[in-house]
Amino acid sequence: TPLKIAVFVGSLRKGSFNRQLARAVEKLAPAELVFEHVRIDDLPLYSQDFDAAYPTVASRLKNDVASADALLFVTPEYNRSVPGVLKNAIDIASRPWGTNSFAGKPAAVIGASIGATGTAMAQQHLRNILAYLDMPVLAQPEVFIHFKDDLIADDGTIGNDGTRKFLQGFVDRYVAWITRFAG
Ligand code: FNR
């Protein structure tokens, strides 16, 4: 049976390197994995007032997460942490209190940066958030991609043998990880 992966890309930028990284990973995955990019660009800024009557788009996000077997977070680092748009989406899907849509879903965190530290600090912050939200997150391999010009094309083609092998190794571990929690 196919496994549905809800993909959170933490950048809204059209030419996002992290979206390209997400596509590269998807191309390396076996056919039984179905990836769906979760829409986060039309979400309102979370307010606890929502909890009384959740906005339609916020409920849509919760459904996207609830109907997924696993999560994949692909995020840039903004000011040494998680971009606000991603944190906002996570906050929305984690609420109203007692209805955390992420609970128990296996996940992985990867990211690309134009800086040499490759989103390492943002990923550490994100792991802390996901742990609190009761998600088993793949520990290894860590994926800190130092993105240079043509490392990955728009369609996800990887222009470098070493990076392709490394990402294939990640995908294999990710598939094994989420399969452990399936069904
Ligand atoms: C950045 N960038 C950045 N890079 C990094 O390695 N560490 C950081 O802390 C930051 N901080 C940061 C803050 C803000 C507000 C912006 C706009 C950018 C640079 C970042 O890596 C670069 O813009 C990437 O291209 C962003 O990822 P996408 O949009 O290409 O996926």
ipTM, two decimals: 0.99
* CA distances (Å), origin 91, targets 46, 48, 62, 130: 7, 10, 10, 11
CATH architecture of the domain with range 3-181: 3-Layer(aba) Sandwich (3.40)
Q: What is the pLDDT of residues 18-46, one digit of tens each?
A: 999 999 999 999 999 999 999 999 999 99
- Report how far ligand 1's centroid is from the alpha carbon of 98 (Å): 33
Q: What is the pLDDT of residues 97-112, one digit of tens each?
A: 999 999 999 999 999 9
- Name which residue sits closest to atom 6 of ligand 1, judged by CA: 115
DSSP 5: E
Q: Phi, psi at residue 170, to the nearest 5°?
A: -60, -50
Q: What average pLDDT does range 86-96 have in this prediction?
A: 98
- Name which residue sits closest to atom 18 of ligand 1, judged by CA: 78
Cα dihedral sign, 98-101-103-104:
positive
pTM of the model: 0.98
